[in-house]
Structure 1
Amino acid sequence: MSPSDPDFSDDPDAPVRVEHRFDGETPPSIAIVQAIAAIENVDPIASPSDLGITLYDHVDPTALDQIVTGRNGSTSVTIDLTIHNDHEYAVRVQNSGRLIVERSG
C-alpha cells in the first residue's frame, strides 16, 4: 500500500504531511515506516541507516499493531506518538486503517 503524495512546500521548515492507509497485508508499524520514508524520499528498507532511527526506538511495533488491529471494530482506537531524529514526526494511527504522519523542524 503506498502513501499519498506528501504535501511539500518551497519552505524547507514547513510541515510536511502524508496520509497513508494500512490493512491486513501492511500492518500499522510498517505503514509508519513507509510514510516517513516517503516524506524523506528514501527507501523504506534503507530508512534505519538513511534516517538514523528505527520505529522500535520509539514504540514496540508488535504491541502497536496488536492494539490497533486487535479490536473488533466496535471500539475506536487512536494512537498518537512522536518520533525524533533531525526532525520531529507526529504520528496518528487509527484502527479505521488511517495513518497520518507530519514532519516538522
Structure 2
Amino acid sequence: MKEVKFGRIAGPFRYPPFLTLQVSSMGLVPKKDGDVRLIQHLSYPENNSINDFIDKDHCSVQYSSVDEAACLINRHKTFARLSQCDVKAAFRLLPIAPHDFDLLGRKF
C-alpha cells in the first residue's frame, strides 16, 4: 500500500486492468541497513520471463568502473569534475511507457 500511496503503482484491482496482463512474482531482498527491498522477478520463470523477450543489445545496464573514471580524469586533466550520488529509489525514476504497463502486473 506504501507504493500505491506514493503513486508508484496502481491497484489493487478486482479484475485485471488489461486483457494482456503479464503477472510476475514478488520478492524481498535484504538491504545493508537491515531493511528489505521489494523486488519484482521480471526474470522468472526462466526462459519465459518478461526479461527473456527484451533485446539485450537495446536494453542493458552497465556501471562505470573506477578505472574508467580515472581514465576520464586523466584525459580531461584540469577540466575534470567528478560527483557521485546514491539515489535511494533509482529504478523508480525510470519511466515506463504506457503501452508496456501490461507487462508489469504483480499479484499478492
- Do they superpose with TM above 0.5? no
**More strand by percentage:** 1
* Greater RCO, CA 8 A, separation 6+: 2
Rg: which structure is higher?
2
